[in-house]
Structure 1
Amino acid sequence: MNKSFTIKIDQKVLDYMNKKRKSVLTLNISTTGGGCCPTFEISEVTLAKPDHPDLFDIYQQNAVTLYISKKTKVTASMLHFTFKKNLIGATILVEGISLKKRD
């Protein structure tokens, strides 16, 4: 993982975390698919400490503890966490990473 990047957490993400009384953001990269389908990586942002913190790099930003998966390929100079509200709730998205697709 590229270690020379900055982290930005949008105010809407911070407000959402405060509302939920959470101070942890975890970015996990997992692989899905396989068999007859191609595999690809997906990113998932949660508000909980990971089960295996040794597989993550730990950062502090805006009174938030961030666990960033060591599998994360940061391709931009900024890792940017944004907030998107949808019909059934809300999602925290991350920009500035590369996800692989394998055929």
Structure 2
Amino acid sequence: MTIQPAKLSDPAVRAFVNAVNSHDREGFMALLAPGATMSDDGSDRDLADWIDREIFSSHGHMEVDNESDGGQTLLARYRNDTWGEMRTKWSFTVEGDGRISRFETGQG
């Protein structure tokens, strides 16, 4: 069963999912803390390059099936034009100011 983005517990994670699904690159970047980092399948990646390739130029979309860790860990079906749909896990580090300093994703 899919969790609607509006029902996600963590406001930063909710905004992240909404920015991905609405292809709002500017809004997405505003959610990230300065110097934010990310990893994909356990390897650190260049954040700007990765989000352009895996989210914005390939029409990424997240359908969240489950959340845990106060809403900072998601299990989602993620799809884009490059890879099709896959089950993925997303973990977020949210700072006190509500911005995301790190996210980690991978097949789940």
- Same fold, TM-score > 0.5, yes or no: no
Greater helix content: 2
Greater strand content: 1
Structure number with greater Rg is 1
Q: Under a length normalisation based on structure 2, what TM-score does the superposition of the two structures give?
A: 0.29
Q: Under a length normalisation based on structure 1, what TM-score does the superposition of the two structures give?
A: 0.30
Higher relative contact order (CA 8 A, sep 6+): 1
